[in-house]
Amino acid sequence: MILVYSHKITPRLTYIFRQVFIRILELPVSFTSAIEKFVSHSGPKLSYTHQPLGNEFFIKSHELLFQKGIQEAKIEVSQWSGIPAFFKLEKPSKLPYDIFAASFYLLSRYEEYLPHVKDELGTFLPYQSLAHKNNFLELPLVDLWSVRLKDKLYAFFPELPHGSWRKPKFQPLVSVENPYRYQKKSLLLKFADTLNALWHLDFFYVIEQFLVLLHLQKDPYNNFEELERLFKKNRIQPLYFFLFAKTTFYDRGISSNNYGFRNLIKNISDTNEVYLLASYAAQREAKIFVEERANLKKLIIKKIDSVRFHYGLLSASWGYNSLLDQEIHEDYSMGYLEEVGYRASTAVPFYFYDLNNDLQTSLKLFPMVAHEKGLRKFSPTNAFKKLQEFYDKLPTASGFHGVSFTNTLLNSEDPENAWEPSFINYIRYHDSKK
């Protein structure tokens, strides 16, 4: 047990210290503001305050963890032996940077509460982030800092227990926005899609649609049996997220009343975990979210306590409020759709910290390192090579490698689909028994 002393124990301080020590480094930690208790403690201990009390492991504290509310913070990013860092400290601090305040800033998504430009959907854009501006979006920076802290602690306290290494968790997320390209759609949607294809002289679409609707060819998006066989063969358990919403301009899925679509979801839920891919409207309006969740729960007769957002997390400053109100326990939206990397600069799951009320919530966030949309900016070979590098470079066993794919990626009907073999090889690489 590592005892931490600070002149003031705040919710922010306990939140980030528990994340770093317990969830990332898997080391127990406790807190005190009593100098007598700290001085008399015979085990490993560190102080996080303004001045050292003696010869203990001392880290000079930044004011961020003792503030309330949201305030502009001056941030200057520099290099700490090859990796970016900020909130620089001077000796006698044992660390050259206050990694706890910096980690809190990144994990709480502090910058998303500050004034920023949004797109037409209301999205916090990746290019505005500190990580993108300073070229560390692809680094699990909080985890890397934590490992450096651990190394220094082990040098200072040789008696600290050493945990055994294990493979970080790989978790494929199958986001089902459109289970079919041509089938199960309303006549109006089919007609509109055909007119659009003809307008763009896409005759291949028209011909393929004709063949699929006449049952002469399989729908190219209906790859669920192939996915099931692939995951089962490699002993990997995916999570499925279905868009189960009313058709709107932003959410053009299959009607939730369609019998074939409902039957597909029920069949997949028999052997897999199925959760809600909340629509754009559901992220904007709590009433719609409640309705979508209730309808899916009624269909599969299972708890729906995990979600992803169809358009990704628009903004952490308000995007999670409805989830907390509805007692959702897990979210898999912490990432960017069009950029690969770590939105919160960590690969380790963490709890959402509500800056508006200054408290840790019960909502657990699972970082997503990449979405298929962002991967498609690369060639198939380079995309999966990049994902493999992300996984191989995870610095802690507590890391979580979450990647979101759609059912359209595995299209065995298309002989020119270069993504299929690369995707299959990538899944094989993560065989759970290797």
The CATH number assigned to the domain holding 358 equals 3.20.20.370
Q: Are residues 144 and 173 in the same domain?
A: no
The whole-chain average pLDDT of the chain stands at 90
Distance CA 65, CA 106 (A): 13
Q: What's the whole-number mean pLDDT along residues 48-75?
A: 94
**Strand pairing partners for 176?**
242
Q: Are residues 261 and 343 in the same domain?
A: yes
Report pLDDT for 415.
53
Q: What's the whole-number mean pLDDT along residues 337-361?
A: 96
Q: Quick check: 258 and 205 in contact, CB under 8 A?
A: no
Q: Are residues 133 and 257 in the same domain?
A: no
Angle at 331 between CA 299 and CA 421, to 5 degrees: 80
Question: Would you place residue 87 in the very low, low, confident or very high pLDDT band (cuts 50, 70, 90)?
Answer: very high
Report pLDDT for 220.
75
What is the SS3 assignment for 133?
helix
Report pLDDT for 200.
67
Upper half-sphere CA count for residue 309 (Cβ side, 13 Å): 29
Q: Are residues 142 and 175 in the same domain?
A: no
Q: Are residues 281 and 151 in the same domain?
A: no
Of 223, 184, 166, nearest to 396 by C-alpha is: 166
Q: What's the whole-number mean pLDDT along residues 282-295?
A: 92
CA distances (Å), origin 162, targets 159, 257, 274? 9, 54, 37
Distance CA 193, CA 182 (A): 9
Q: What's the whole-number mean pLDDT along residues 233-240?
A: 95
347 in any annotated domain: yes
191 in any annotated domain: no
In the chain, % of residues over pLDDT 90: 70
346 in any annotated domain: yes
The number of distinct structural domains making up the chain is 2
Report pLDDT for 165.
79
Q: What is the DSSP letter of 164?
A: P
333 in any annotated domain: yes
Q: Are residues 152 and 235 in the same domain?
A: no
Q: Are residues 295 and 262 in the same domain?
A: yes
**Strand pairing partners for 88?**
97
Inter-helix orientation angle 187-199/203-213, to 10°: 150
pLDDT tens digit string along 169-202?
999 999 998 888 766 665 556 656 667 766 667 7
* Among 103, 121, 156, residue at a domain's last position: 156
Residue-number span of the structural domain to which 132 is assigned: 2-156
Distance CA 61, CA 93 (A): 9
**Strand pairing partners for 354?**
359
pLDDT tens digit string along 253-285?
788 888 889 999 999 999 999 999 999 999 888
What is the SS3 assignment for 229?
helix
Question: Would you place residue 434 in the very low, low, confident or very high pLDDT band (cuts 50, 70, 90)?
Answer: low
Q: Are residues 152 and 272 in the same domain?
A: no
Report pLDDT for 251.
78
Q: Are residues 12 and 106 in the same domain?
A: yes
Q: Are residues 123 and 173 in the same domain?
A: no
Report pLDDT for 237.
95
Report pLDDT for 389.
96
Task: Check whether 227 has a pLDDT greater than 70.
Answer: yes
Q: Are residues 339 and 251 in the same domain?
A: yes
Q: What's the whole-number mean pLDDT along residues 96-111?
A: 97
pLDDT tens digit string along 161-176?
887 778 999 999 999 9
213 in any annotated domain: no
Q: What sign does the dihedral 339-343-346-348 (CA atoms) show? A: negative
Distance CA 265, CA 256 (A): 10
211 in any annotated domain: no
Kindly report the number of other CB atoms within 10 A of residue 138's CB atom.
Answer: 19
163 in any annotated domain: no
Q: Are residues 111 and 248 in the same domain?
A: no
pLDDT tens digit string along 351-404?
999 999 999 999 999 999 999 999 999 999 999 999 999 999 999 999 999 999
Task: Check whether 421 has a pLDDT greater than 70.
Answer: yes
289 in any annotated domain: yes
